[in-house]
């Protein structure tokens, strides 16, 4: 990734932080983008302390103007964009679909689905002269359903299909669009589950070897997908889930 310029949304925490650090270790100049100013700045500081190159830009990926400005500021800083990791996401409150507050549905879809569209659109424009790679974070919950997660399933299923559709549209610009679908990963987004050990262990057992993954294990896959070694991978979403989506339980 030497001399590549990468944006990582949701870079302040979990998978995004691990990916920003991994991309920087591989030589990329990384723009850490997050709605949380403290955590985003922390990631950028940690990268610089390790000798990497990073900046931090506040973004709310549910706003088109905010994502457009993020890409514009990145172009002003570095003159190009090679890698866009549309990773920011929220899990939302759990309700059965018939009791789901309409605002809660829209809030989750705004970040997880519309935010990824804004990232694809703006990065696609920024990359169309020189090519690039766009990676979207879906989830195995875009493939299989659990109870009381309707907006999350809706939005992550959309990310899988948006990845395929965008890959087809952007192929003529030498832009690859791929996705990752993590299983249970030990990050902030699932910290609420930690307070319920029975539920946590039940979900953990859904991974073939019975353990949650680490953000680094997902970041390693994202780094590979972003690299030239993955040059023939396009339009697919890769499950990073220790087989969780491959067996009946
Ligand atoms: N952890 C898991 O088990 C798991 C499983 C499947 C998919 N995912 C997906 O992985 C992605 C990363 O999540 P994580 O697990 O690292 O969780 P996390 O909560 O540690 O990180 C999510 C980051 O996104 C940021 N964010 C939230 N809303 C934002 C917005 N509107 N604009 C910009 N940034 C915003 C948060 O501030 C946070 O830093 C998400 O898309 C999530 O849905 C996670």
Flag whether 244 is in a domain.
no
The mean pLDDT of 37-52, rounded to a whole number, is 97
59 alpha carbon to ligand 1 midpoint, in Å?
Answer: 13
Residues belonging to the active site: 152
112 alpha carbon to ligand 1 midpoint, in Å?
Answer: 9
What digits encode the pLDDT tens for the residues 77-102?
999 999 999 999 999 999 999 999 99
Ligand 1 within 6 A of CB of 234: no
Atom of ligand 1 nearest to the CA of 12: 39
Flag whether 123 is in a domain.
yes
Instruction: Give the CATH number of the domain where residue 168 resides.
Output: 3.40.50.720
Flag whether 95 is in a domain.
yes
Ligand 1 within 6 A of CB of 136: no
Interstrand relation of 53-58 and 83-86 (parallel, antiparallel or unpaired): unpaired
129 alpha carbon to ligand 1 midpoint, in Å?
Answer: 30
Question: Distances from the Cα of 9 to the Cαs of 49, 54, 66, 167, in angstroms?
Answer: 20, 13, 12, 19
96 alpha carbon to ligand 1 midpoint, in Å?
Answer: 22
Atom of ligand 1 nearest to the CA of 15: 16
pLDDT at 67: 99
Flag whether 145 is in a domain.
yes
Q: What is the gyration radius of the CA atoms in the chain, in angstroms?
A: 17
Flag whether 220 is in a domain.
yes
Residue 234: domain span = 5-239
Flag whether 245 is in a domain.
no
Ligand 1 within 6 A of CB of 62: yes
Flag whether 186 is in a domain.
yes
The model's pTM:
0.98
What digits encode the pLDDT tens for the residues 204-238?
999 999 999 999 999 999 999 999 999 999 999 99
Flag whether 200 is in a domain.
yes
**Domain tally, the chain:** 1
H or E stretch including 225? helix 215-226
């Amino acid at each position: 990734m030497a001399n590549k310029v990468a944006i990582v949304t949701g870079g302040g925490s979990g998978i995004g932080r691990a990916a920003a650090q991994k991309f920087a270790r591989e030589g990329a100049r990384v723009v850490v983008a997050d709605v949380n100013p403290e955590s985003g700045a922390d990631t950028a500081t940690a990268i610089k302390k390790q000798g990497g190159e990073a900046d931090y830009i506040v973004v709310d990926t549910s706003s088109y103007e905010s994502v457009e400005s993020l890409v514009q500021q990145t172009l002003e800083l570095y003159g190009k964009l090679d890698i866009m990791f549309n990773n920011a996401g929220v899990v939302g409150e759990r309700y059965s679909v018939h009791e789901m507050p309409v605002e809660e549905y829209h809030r989750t879809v705004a970040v997880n689905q519309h935010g990824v569209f804004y990232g694809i659109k703006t990065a696609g424009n920024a990359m169309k002269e020189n090519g690039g790679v766009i990676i979207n974070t879906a989830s195995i919950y875009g493939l299989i359903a659990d109870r009381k997660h309707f907006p999350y399933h809706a939005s992550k299923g959309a990310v899988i299909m948006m990845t395929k559709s965008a890959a087809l549209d952007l192929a003529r610009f030498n832009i690859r669009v791929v996705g990752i679908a993590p299983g249970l990963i030990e990050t902030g987004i699932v910290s609420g589950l930690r307070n319920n050990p029975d539920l946590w262990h039940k979900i953990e057992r859904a991974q073939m070897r019975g353990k949650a993954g680490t953000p680094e294990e997902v970041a390693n896959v994202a780094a590979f997908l972003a690299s030239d070694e993955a040059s023939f991978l396009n339009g697919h979403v890769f499950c990073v889930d220790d087989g969780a989506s491959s067996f009946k339980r």
